């Protein structure tokens, strides 16, 4: 009961010197807001980065076949996997649902006399499904295409081609080296991700067999594997390694799984979050020092008031409680408003960078609790000082 009376008393005192109270809690407000905003912002950034991987699904492996480095650096093995071999290797493995091998070439692309920058990707029919390529016009590559000179253009190249000729590129021809490909489809904008080693937006997609006919450098060195859920990745990697060795002895397999990428990103983001939180905490500590400063000044200015209170019967603990509660109230108000401001800043960050805004639980809770703790900690010394005053000395002050 006495506590509520003390709280009322503290509120009365704080509201009667509004400017000073506002200045004191400003430090806590800024500190809490920065903790909340930075930690939330860091989380938003991580979520955005992870989104790319998550849209692909966690059951994918990106397998690439590299040369085993030799001492003389000259041996680039001429052997590479054929499409049949890839299918054979992957079909024996029960946990593999589907596989999309692809080739990459960087031959110059010509359209209507203009040279375009882009890659030539040789793909299979299921590439679109596994890697989420949407065809907005026409059709995708089909397994029936085999060596046929058909292609699908990526979104960016499509825009460039429209700007060149003012005629709809669909159905027109595109030149790769000395070969001509007919455009049968247009792909939608594809969110760039580092899981697939190609930028589809600025590429043309041709049938994989046709690409091997284009150039001897069109080797099937990459394939995306879709697994059953909760597959044993280590075991699969081992099997793939053995199978590939069987066909092409001098090559080494390099396997990346979406799941482990997401996990490692998660770990990195935790470290980042901790760091950001620490930085924010520094500003919160500075805010706490500000509260202590203001409270100390307040104690000095109110010496006579303390003397009067002592004279009418306040005990030392009453004086200490008064100032401590005032400090805690300042921190509470500062903490709450800081959380609100922090969330607003997070919203602004999401708005400016076109990220998805999310409500987080821990940053506001931690920011708020730390601000209250700071208030108690930094308010304690001034409160203690106040309670140690001698009544007669205090009454004599002006």
The smaller minimum CB distance to another protein, of residues 17 and 85, is found at 17
Among 10, 13, 104, 155, binds another protein (CB under 8 A): 13
Q: For strand 251-257 and strand 179-187, is the pairing parallel, antiparallel, or unpaired?
A: unpaired
| Nearest distance from C-beta of residue 395 to another protein, angstroms | 7
| Nearest distance from C-beta of residue 310 to another protein, angstroms | 7
The smaller minimum CB distance to another protein, of residues 239 and 309, is found at 309
HSE toward the beta carbon, residue 19, CA cutoff 13 A: 0
Q: For strand 109-111 and strand 96-105, is the pairing parallel, antiparallel, or unpaired?
A: unpaired
| Nearest distance from C-beta of residue 311 to another protein, angstroms | 5
**Residues 398, 119: Cα–Cα separation, whole Å:** 83
Q: By three-state DSSP, how is residue 136 classified?
A: strand
**Residues 354-393 interacting with another protein (rule: CB under 8 A):** 391-392
> In terms of residues, how long is the chain?
398
**Residues 297-336 interacting with another protein (rule: CB under 8 A):** 304-305, 307-318
The smaller minimum CB distance to another protein, of residues 6 and 97, is found at 6
Vertex 111: Cα angle to 108 and 117 (nearest 5): 40
| Nearest distance from C-beta of residue 390 to another protein, angstroms | 8
Contact between 12 and another protein by CB under 8 A: the answer reads yes
Distances (CA, A) of 73 to 42, 206, 271, 309: 43, 32, 39, 89
**Residues 246, 248: Cα–Cα separation, whole Å:** 6
The smaller minimum CB distance to another protein, of residues 292 and 310, is found at 310
**Residues 325, 321: Cα–Cα separation, whole Å:** 6
Site mask for another protein (CB under 8 A), range 258-297, x = bound: ----------------------------------------
- Total number of residues that touch another protein (CB under 8 A): 25
| Nearest distance from C-beta of residue 333 to another protein, angstroms | 19
| Nearest distance from C-beta of residue 364 to another protein, angstroms | 34
Which residues, in sequence order, are CB contacts of 259 under 8 Å at separation 6+?
58, 59, 233
The smaller minimum CB distance to another protein, of residues 39 and 383, is found at 383
**Residues 205, 134: Cα–Cα separation, whole Å:** 13
Q: What are phi and psi of 121, to 5 degrees?
A: -110, 130
The smaller minimum CB distance to another protein, of residues 22 and 279, is found at 22
Q: What are phi and psi of 356, to 5 degrees?
A: -80, 130
| Nearest distance from C-beta of residue 331 to another protein, angstroms | 21
List residues near another protein by CB under 8 A. Answer: 1-2, 5, 9, 12-13, 16-17, 304-305, 307-318, 391-392, 395
């Amino acid at each position: 009961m006495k506590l509520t009376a003390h709280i009322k008393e503290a509120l009365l005192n704080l509201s009667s010197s509004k400017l000073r109270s506002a200045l004191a809690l400003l430090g806590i407000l800024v500190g809490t807001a920065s903790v909340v905003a930075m930690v939330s912002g860091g989380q938003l950034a991580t979520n955005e980065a992870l989104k790319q991987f998550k849209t692909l699904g966690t059951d994918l492996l990106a397998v690439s076949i590299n040369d085993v480095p030799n001492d003389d650096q000259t041996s680039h093995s001429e052997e590479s996997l054929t499409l049949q071999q890839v299918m054979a290797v992957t079909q024996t493995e029960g946990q593999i649902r589907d596989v999309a091998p692809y080739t990459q070439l960087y031959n110059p692309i010509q359209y209507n006399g203009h040279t375009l920058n882009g890659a030539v990707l040789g793909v299979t029919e299921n590439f679109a499904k596994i890697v989420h390529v949407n065809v907005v016009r026409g059709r995708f590559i089909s397994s029936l295409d085999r060596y046929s000179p058909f292609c699908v253009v990526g979104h960016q190249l499509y825009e460039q081609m429209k700007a060149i000729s003012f005629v709809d590129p669909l159905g027109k021809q595109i030149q790769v080296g000395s070969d001509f490909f007919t455009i049968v489809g247009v792909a939608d904008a594809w969110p760039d991700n580092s899981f697939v080693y190609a930028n589809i937006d600025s590429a043309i997609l041709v049938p994989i067999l046709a690409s091997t006919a284009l150039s001897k450098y069109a080797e099937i060195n990459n394939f995306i594997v879709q697994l059953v859920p909760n597959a044993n990745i280590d075991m699969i990697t081992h099997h793939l390694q053995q199978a590939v060795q069987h066909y092409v002895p001098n090559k080494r397999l390099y396997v990346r799984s979406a799941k482990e990428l997401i996990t490692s990103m998660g770990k990195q983001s935790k470290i980042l979050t901790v760091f950001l939180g620490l930085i924010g905490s520094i500003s919160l500590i500075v805010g706490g020092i500000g509260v202590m400063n203001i409270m100390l000044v307040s104690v000095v200015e109110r010496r006579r008031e303390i003397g009067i209170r002592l004279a009418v019967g306040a005990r030392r603990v009453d004086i200490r409680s008064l100032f401590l509660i005032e400090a805690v109230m300042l921190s509470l108000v500062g903490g709450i408003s800081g959380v609100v401001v922090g969330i607003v800043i997070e919203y602004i960050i999401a708005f400016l960078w076109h990220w998805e805004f999310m409500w987080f639980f821990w940053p506001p809770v931690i920011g708020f609790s730390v601000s209250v703790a700071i208030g108690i900690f930094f308010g304690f010394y001034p409160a203690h000082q106040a309670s140690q005053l001698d009544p007669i000395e205090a009454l004599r002050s002006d």
